[in-house]
Structure 1
Amino acid sequence: MKPILKITILTILISYASFAQQGNKASFTISGKVIDQETQQVLEYATIVLENTKTKKITGGITNEKGIFNITALKSTYNITVEFIGFKPYIINNKEVNSAIQLGTIELKVDNNSLDEVEIIAEKSTVEIRLDKKIYNVGKDMTIKGGTASDVLDNVPSVNVDAEGAISLRGNENVRILIDGKPSAMVGLNGTDALRNLPADAIEKVEVITSPSARYDAEGTAGILNIVLRKGKVTGFNGSINTTVGSPQLYGINGNLNYRTKKVNLFSNLGYRHRQGPGNSQSFFTNLDNGTITDFRDEDRVFDRKSNNYNGSLGLEYYINKNSSVTGTFFYRNSKDDDIATNNTVFFDENKNITGVENRIENEKETGENKQYSLNYTNNFKGKGEKLSVDLQYSDDYEKEPALITVDGLLSEQNSQTTSSRNKLVQIDYVLPIGENSQFEIGHKSDLQDLSSDFRVRDGNGQPLATDPSNAIDFKQNIYAFYTQFGSKIKKISYLIGLRTEITDIDLNVITTNQKSDKNYTEWFPTINLGYEINDNDNLTLGFARRLRRPRHWFLNPFESRSSATNVFRGNPDLDPTFTSSYDLGYNKKINKLDIGASLYYQYSTDIIQRIAILEERNINGVLTDVTVRQPSNLNDEKRYGLEFTSNFNASKRVRLSASFNYFKFNTDAFTYVYTAQNGTQVTTRLDAVNESSWFARLNSRITLPAKVQWQTRLMYRGPQKNAQSDRKGMFSANLSFSKDLFKDKATLVFNVSDLFNSRKYESTTYLGGRENPSSIVDGAFQWRERQISLNFTYRFNQKKKRARPNGGYDNGGNEGGGF
């Protein structure tokens, strides 16, 4: 019998038998645990089949994420079969069930002969629910083929990536991004840019953690996004080659190679990517004096970005024995960017007569190098859940950004910025199971960063300006964390309770001005996650976590940007961290082919960090000019609450639909912001109270057309939103893709159009000085990247489009915090 037919018949019979037994009280529980005999890893989704020897009726179930099963059966005699794809079945004949039975740990042996012959048609669920997180599986998503990590995140429920690349979770931009459960050089010095360079095809899944347990860093008031990369799991030599071409100019090649034996797993990822990223922005300034228009200014920017990125990783995992392994990994990236920003500015008087024109061009050539060395030791002890994991990590990041600025065709400035950062990480985690359903954890983490940045500004002749705005900083941030947590399951109730403390030591030294800022504090972060299984198809979750947001070094650095003389950004050395208490209530239900989820959440934050824009009068080339200065500042407290819906509907084998909707509301009190201008005067800005709401929705469909062509469409709309100074318009975008498997499923060809209608633009109106009596009104639009068309081809050798058996060694944090 073909495997797919067998699985289909088994599913129908199990469903029928389970329904028939609901009214029978003479039933007992059969429980146990299923693991891989060779690696001692638990086997999730293993199938347990119970065949009644008298009636020949079949019932059964599957194992959960811990490899544990609990099946209710009527009093009778059964033949019990435990199966998992690629393993030899484990059979117990004529087992009499007249009381609760504990089968203990069942070890399955690999069936090497059948491993490569198995055909799986059923798909793994796109979204998996855990007590403290949701897991989004990337594999079947075609709209991100040939894309980047930013494209992947923008397709994840609850997550948005705006036109500037800023990532938000449930409308909150303070998100902690991890790679394989840890900070990574892949995120680099500028996380937004780095994620645009990480290929989507290197990502296996994304974990959305809105109520993180104590094991995770407290950083990120909105929560954590953990990007889990693909790793080779199949024995022997295997891999894949991925190529992409597109318009605007895009081409790249990426290869994943893996060689695995019983003692060694050698894995690598090599890639090159060239991309042109045209973008644009417009800003129209209406300047006022006590309600009377004084003048106008129109700034039109065009971005011409070219990037060449080389990245590679090489890892070796050695299995000391069946329970322990050592893994060493080296990651390297080299990037070369050539970015030209052309800023055309037109000045008008109060009657819109042109009084001046300026053409300012900034040509920045950036080179960067990122290196990361990682070493992990994992010991699973006797393979019954007890686990010790030790991680050592060192990364060295370097960026050099020389820039030439011309004004009206004449060389005006020769600038350069050199930034280097060295990061060291030590992490120790220990897990101790207590009985079948309880678990104790304890751990420590030291995360040490030493960063220096030197920004030099020179005139066209290479000499310092009269008022030298050059800037150099030394930034040190050391974080020492300790945590413990305990989780258990009592009948239908699961809980995970933890406590984390983090000792933070931040030192900022502005060398050019001898300005120093020291922030030292120790904080406690309790976490509570509760789950209740109403039945097999309904469950409730409740989570609480205290979080914080530490300002990054570029938010603290008081240096001003130079691409525009009249619209600048500068950091604020006096920023304090934001602390947030988050509450999350979730409900998930399965109705036949429909999976739905709903969440109510509430967040209370103190000293929120927000960018404030003020108008400052400066002397530019002998002319008094209004200059917009944007600077982050600590505002009042903020209350944020919302409602989120997600759904997945498998209408048929050919039609699959998913949708998500998020509505959130936030309010802050009125705030008076005092800013010290360059000339020493103080500028006061009144920020009105905010009591606003917004929403965003996403619809995704995947349809199988004739000839097995996969058609996928994604629609996204983000509603309008207001804050203390700005009104942002709504934004709509659409992605479209077609996919076809070739060469007996060894290859896949994908045609993809990102932002089909070229509508992904950030449009807003900003009121400088307050809404009631603004000193300037700015109408702006920004488009980071224009519509992208790409063609992607993937060829797999010694691989099949199926789920392989679990990796026998360390999974680099991909399963963190999901034990209950």
Structure 2
Amino acid sequence: MKKLVNFLSLFILLSTGSLLAQQTAKNGSTPAKIVGVAKDSNSGEPIPYATAALYTSGSDTNIAGGVADGDGKFFITGMEPGTYDLKVSFLGYETLTVKGIEVVSKTGDVNIGDVSLVDEGFALEEVTVQGQRELIEERVDRTIYKAENDKTTAGGDGTDVLRRVPMLSVDLDGNVSMRGSSNITVLIDNRPSAIAASSITNALKQIPADEIKAVEVITSPSAKYDAEGTSGVINIVTKKNNLQGMSANIRTGTGLRGSDFGLNASARKGKFGFTLGGFGRAGYNINGSYNNSQIITNEDNSLSKTLQSADTKSNNLFGRYNFGVDYEIDKYNFITGAVNFGIRNRTNSENNLLVQNFRDDILTNTQFRETDVKDNSNSVDVSLNYTKTFEKKGKEIALLTLYSRNNGENSNINTILSDDMSSVDYKLKNDNPNKNEEFTVQLDFVDPLGKDGQSILEYGAKNILRKAYSDFAYFRAEGANGEYIENPDPDLSNDFSYDQNVTAGYVSYTTTLFKNYTIKPGIRYEYTTINANFGKETSPVEIPAYGTFVPSLNLSRKLANGNMIKASYNRRISRPSLRYLNPNLDRSNLNQWTQGNPELDPELTDNFELGYSTFFKSTMISFSGFFRNTTGSIQPVRTPQDDDIIFTTYDNIGHERAYGTNIFTNISINNKFSLNGSVDAYYAFLDNGLSDPNYAASNDGFVISGRLFGNYSLPNDWQIQAFTFARGRQVQLQGSSGGFYMYGMGINKQFDEKRGTIGFGADNFLTKEFKMKNEIVTPTIVQNSTNIMRNMNFKINFSYRIGKLSMDQKPRRKKSINNDDLKGGSEGGQGAEMMQNK
């Protein structure tokens, strides 16, 4: 963040320095100058346009500044004789401080020679950086959380990392939302993944926290991005390198409720680079319970009441394996390819499930059940990308391809026990194998305009072909060992295919006006065709094609002292993923049925945002306000069925508005102790737009959440970090979701010249269990449920790096595909969840 402050403030410093130089020239004397050359520490090449800022020695008082020319040469004037510190910085490099520069005269040059900057992406062992590296970086269109500096997540997964990111909220089940909306797009290294497409929740659990370098929260995506994501885009940047040599890293961790093991290796020889790695994570002892009460008002005004209670248990096993290669054909042509495999096996069970049915407070039936849910999948992503650069700096052409496939196998079995629980009356089984395939071709052009290249024109085209298939059936078996027989009911057994073709083109233009203003307008057009069919029906599902214009506008202004104000507008389209479309009737809970709607339309959202960032001394504060308006919102429609069943499906009947703010601060108290925290608050209004009093619903209210993170460096390479997060009650269309909180602490020690790390962590160590209460209220339904999760965890983490890489060449910019156009399901779910697309 210091580099960003320096960069912005120098626009003012330059003009001041220039006036001083002109004034001394008029007086016929040559002012004193500090001169030097900014160079890359490894290649020795000059760094054009690096910035230099002069400070009074030992203080934060900025005296003057300058910008290097195309050969890396810079000079600074306008200072009196004295002792100064010089800070030289450039985007992508560590800021270097040259201390104790003596200026003994008002005239003449002080030549400090070459100033060597180290690439910030590759912190070499030989370089010692003093003080705490900042966790948060603000840019015009995004907030970046530097996860590699957060040691409390060691041994955890992507969910643990995202809980620490400003503007994001992650509940106890791992469901992610941004500013109160779960309709977000998650990318991994700037590209979609079949793993994330199936379930954002489970994708995050497959990514080890130790492999995440940063998380980028993009609240106002430009026209270059697909038009999905009501709230925006989350890009998870993993650790990777382009160094010479070979290196391997092994890491493992074990805890009360989970263990993990990972091995990654990298090699680079000349123009070839390779990466190979794997990671496995097992979760166990994840126990809990739930209670549910639902009251249905019948047509004769009598009341049907159902009470449910059960003990719950879940186990999971995740794996992620990857192989990547890149090749530099020549100075201007590059090829990259990658193959990623993912597996996910998850089981959930409900034991001692007691169901009691009442009619007008009279007990009419008691039933004992057991429920077992299996959710397994495997995925593969294959990408091949070609990038061509030119002599003209910044000009680029990229051809990107991606093939993704996800195979899912989902099933649930309800076992109905006898009244004395000594025998099995019958079993009801639902099988839902499914498959998603996707092939994408994308062509992007970047062309800097003008003499200095400050204006950038971006344009391109993209085509996505998707094929999804769901085969679903119900089976019944009598007794404990009876043979399963398919249910002949056509509503319970069928197959469904869904083919979608999205063709898009975009143009975006970025330019700087009056030095301190930046404007970035863009327009994107997407045309979608859909073909959907049920296998056991002769007529297809009629879904018309549609086209959508998606405008965007980003504005920013640099203020004094490095402050920045920015404003943005964009429109987003959210196509329903197969989580909402899949017609498989999910009856894993026999009193709560859920079924998708294949005829859903997309929803449209207009987003407005205003943000301001300010800096003083070692503190950064960022404020932002937003307004979000969604029409045609996809909302659940709940109706009573057969007295004791709540049936849920989806329709485009919702209208959502949200007004909110986010306040974030980062404080470096000294070079050993730092704090950062944030508060998110918004007021939500939801309305399903129906006039029938039996189904009309609306709700509104405030939602507030906050987080606090602290870091303290101890002597002898010890470090301690602590984190806490809390979210209040969340407003929903037909009720609310209860609030929750969590916290964690970690301590670690580096050894063997920082090649190895060993640490201990504890999560929720003072809380035996968490309770979350949810409520649904409609004119005919009142439902209250309480979910309990035992989430206390203790863990030991260990990692060690073998070998060493040395930087031989500048890393090449890698391009990758972003498919961001579906209303995804960060929410957990069974069966239908596996049918989601990117």
Q: Smaller-chain TM-score range?
A: 0.7 to 0.9
Give the CA RMSD over aligned residues.
Answer: 4.3
| Residue 778 (structure 2) pairs with residue 768 (structure 1) | yes
- Mark the CA change 1:208 to 1:761 in structure 2 (over 3 Å): closer, same or farther: farther
Amino acid of the residue matched to residue 448 of structure 2? P
Cα deviation for residue 733 of structure 1 reads: 1.9
**2:397 maps to what in 1?**
388
| Residue 618 (structure 2) pairs with residue 615 (structure 1) | no
Amino acid of the residue matched to residue 561 of structure 1? D
Cα deviation for residue 197 of structure 1 reads: 1.9
Is the CA contact (8 Å cut-off) linking 1:615 and 1:768 kept in structure 2?
A: no
**2:277 maps to what in 1?**
269
Unaligned runs of 5+ in 1: 1-6, 99-105, 618-624, 675-683, 770-774
Cα deviation for residue 343 of structure 1 reads: 6.7
Is the CA contact (8 Å cut-off) linking 1:313 and 1:330 kept in structure 2?
A: yes
| Residue 704 (structure 2) pairs with residue 695 (structure 1) | yes
Equivalent in 465, 470, 494 of residue 493 of structure 2: 470
| Residue 784 (structure 2) pairs with residue 779 (structure 1) | yes
**2:581 maps to what in 1?**
556
Q: Sequence identity, in percent?
A: 25
Separation in structure 1 between the aligned mates of residue 87 and residue 711 of structure 2, nearest angstrom = 35
Equivalent in 788, 792, 796 of residue 793 of structure 2: 788
**TM-score, normalised with respect to structure 1:** 0.84
Separation in structure 1 between the aligned mates of residue 72 and residue 686 of structure 2, nearest angstrom = 47
Amino acid of the residue matched to residue 475 of structure 2? R
Amino acid of the residue matched to residue 314 of structure 1? F
Give the match's secondary structure for 2:290: strand
Query: Structure 2 matches for 1:150-299, cutoff 5 A?
Result: 150-248=159-257, 250-276=258-284, 277-288=286-297, 294-299=303-308
Is the CA contact (8 Å cut-off) linking 2:241 and 2:811 kept in structure 1?
A: no
**2:671 maps to what in 1?**
653
Separation in structure 1 between the aligned mates of residue 622 and residue 476 of structure 2, nearest angstrom = 59
Amino acid of the residue matched to residue 788 of structure 1? N
Separation in structure 2 between the aligned mates of residue 336 and residue 44 of structure 1, nearest angstrom = 51
Separation in structure 1 between the aligned mates of residue 496 and residue 809 of structure 2, nearest angstrom = 47
**2:78 maps to what in 1?**
74
Amino acid of the residue matched to residue 365 of structure 2? G
| Residue 455 (structure 2) pairs with residue 438 (structure 1) | yes
**2:380 maps to what in 1?**
371
Once the two structures are superposed, residues 772-801 of structure 1 have per-residue CA deviations (whole angstroms, 9 ceiling, x without a partner) of xxx33211123567333322211123459x
Separation in structure 2 between the aligned mates of residue 76 and residue 109 of structure 1, nearest angstrom = 30
**1:679 maps to what in 2?**
none
Is the CA contact (8 Å cut-off) linking 1:27 and 1:75 kept in structure 2?
A: no
Cα deviation for residue 465 of structure 1 reads: 2.2
Is the CA contact (8 Å cut-off) linking 1:154 and 1:160 kept in structure 2?
A: yes
**1:680 maps to what in 2?**
none
- Mark the CA change 1:217 to 1:73 in structure 2 (over 3 Å): closer, same or farther: farther
Separation in structure 2 between the aligned mates of residue 182 and residue 62 of structure 1, nearest angstrom = 38
Separation in structure 1 between the aligned mates of residue 40 and residue 625 of structure 2, nearest angstrom = 39
Give the match's secondary structure for 2:204: helix
Which is worse superposed, 512-521 or 270-279?
512-521
Cα deviation for residue 89 of structure 1 reads: 13
Query: Structure 2 matches for 1:731-750, cutoff 5 A?
Result: 731-750=740-759
Cα deviation for residue 565 of structure 1 reads: 1.2
Equivalent in 693, 718, 721 of residue 712 of structure 1: 721
| Residue 529 (structure 2) pairs with residue 505 (structure 1) | yes
Amino acid of the residue matched to residue 449 of structure 1? R
Separation in structure 2 between the aligned mates of residue 50 and residue 592 of structure 1, nearest angstrom = 16
Give the match's secondary structure for 1:487: strand
Cα deviation for residue 487 of structure 1 reads: 0.6
Separation in structure 2 between the aligned mates of residue 71 and residue 616 of structure 1, nearest angstrom = 79
Separation in structure 2 between the aligned mates of residue 473 and residue 34 of structure 1, nearest angstrom = 62
Is the CA contact (8 Å cut-off) linking 1:86 and 1:118 kept in structure 2?
A: no
- Mark the CA change 1:760 to 1:814 in structure 2 (over 3 Å): closer, same or farther: farther
- Mark the CA change 1:392 to 1:122 in structure 2 (over 3 Å): closer, same or farther: farther
Amino acid of the residue matched to residue 655 of structure 1? F
**1:721 maps to what in 2?**
730
| Residue 163 (structure 2) pairs with residue 146 (structure 1) | no
Cα deviation for residue 484 of structure 1 reads: 0.9
Cα deviation for residue 359 of structure 1 reads: 2.6
Give the match's secondary structure for 1:572: coil
Amino acid of the residue matched to residue 496 of structure 2? I
Cα deviation for residue 129 of structure 1 reads: 1.5
Cα deviation for residue 252 of structure 1 reads: 1.7
Cα deviation for residue 342 of structure 1 reads: 3.6
- Mark the CA change 1:116 to 1:565 in structure 2 (over 3 Å): closer, same or farther: closer
**1:315 maps to what in 2?**
324
Cα deviation for residue 218 of structure 1 reads: 0.6
Equivalent in 546, 549, 573 of residue 571 of structure 2: 546
Give the match's secondary structure for 2:222: coil
Separation in structure 2 between the aligned mates of residue 745 and residue 79 of structure 1, nearest angstrom = 30
Unaligned runs of 5+ in 2: 23-32, 108-114, 418-423, 478-482, 821-838
Cα deviation for residue 59 of structure 1 reads: 6.7
Cα deviation for residue 195 of structure 1 reads: 2.1
- Mark the CA change 1:185 to 1:441 in structure 2 (over 3 Å): closer, same or farther: same
Separation in structure 1 between the aligned mates of residue 593 and residue 721 of structure 2, nearest angstrom = 41
Is the CA contact (8 Å cut-off) linking 1:751 and 1:792 kept in structure 2?
A: yes
Once the two structures are superposed, residues 609-647 of structure 1 have per-residue CA deviations (whole angstroms, 9 ceiling, x without a partner) of 122322222xxxxxxx42011222222432211111011
Q: How many residues align?
A: 766
Once the two structures are superposed, residues 521-560 of structure 1 have per-residue CA deviations (whole angstroms, 9 ceiling, x without a partner) of 1111111111100124211011111101111112012221
Query: Structure 2 matches for 1:118-157, cutoff 5 A?
Result: 118-157=127-166
| Residue 520 (structure 2) pairs with residue 496 (structure 1) | yes
Cα deviation for residue 475 of structure 1 reads: 1.2
| Residue 527 (structure 2) pairs with residue 522 (structure 1) | no
Separation in structure 1 between the aligned mates of residue 585 and residue 75 of structure 2, nearest angstrom = 64
Give the match's secondary structure for 1:637: strand
Is the CA contact (8 Å cut-off) linking 2:37 and 2:74 kept in structure 1?
A: no
Amino acid of the residue matched to residue 774 of structure 2? S
Is the CA contact (8 Å cut-off) linking 2:86 and 2:97 kept in structure 1?
A: no
- Mark the CA change 1:35 to 1:530 in structure 2 (over 3 Å): closer, same or farther: farther
- Mark the CA change 1:132 to 1:451 in structure 2 (over 3 Å): closer, same or farther: same
Amino acid of the residue matched to residue 777 of structure 2? Y
Amino acid of the residue matched to residue 213 of structure 2? E
Separation in structure 1 between the aligned mates of residue 62 and residue 476 of structure 2, nearest angstrom = 83
**1:620 maps to what in 2?**
none
Give the match's secondary structure for 2:467: strand
Query: Structure 2 matches for 1:480-495, cutoff 5 A?
Result: 480-490=503-513, 491-495=515-519
- Mark the CA change 1:68 to 1:691 in structure 2 (over 3 Å): closer, same or farther: farther
Is the CA contact (8 Å cut-off) linking 2:357 and 2:644 kept in structure 1?
A: no
Give the match's secondary structure for 1:271: strand
Once the two structures are superposed, residues 66-98 of structure 1 have per-residue CA deviations (whole angstroms, 9 ceiling, x without a partner) of 9999987439999999788799999xxx9xx99
Cα deviation for residue 515 of structure 1 reads: 5.6
**TM-score, normalised with respect to structure 2:** 0.82
Is the CA contact (8 Å cut-off) linking 1:509 and 1:515 kept in structure 2?
A: yes
- Mark the CA change 1:693 to 1:70 in structure 2 (over 3 Å): closer, same or farther: farther
Cα deviation for residue 240 of structure 1 reads: 1.6
Equivalent in 392, 401, 410 of residue 410 of structure 2: 401
Cα deviation for residue 517 of structure 1 reads: 3.8
Separation in structure 2 between the aligned mates of residue 787 and residue 45 of structure 1, nearest angstrom = 51
**1:425 maps to what in 2?**
440
- Mark the CA change 1:755 to 1:27 in structure 2 (over 3 Å): closer, same or farther: farther
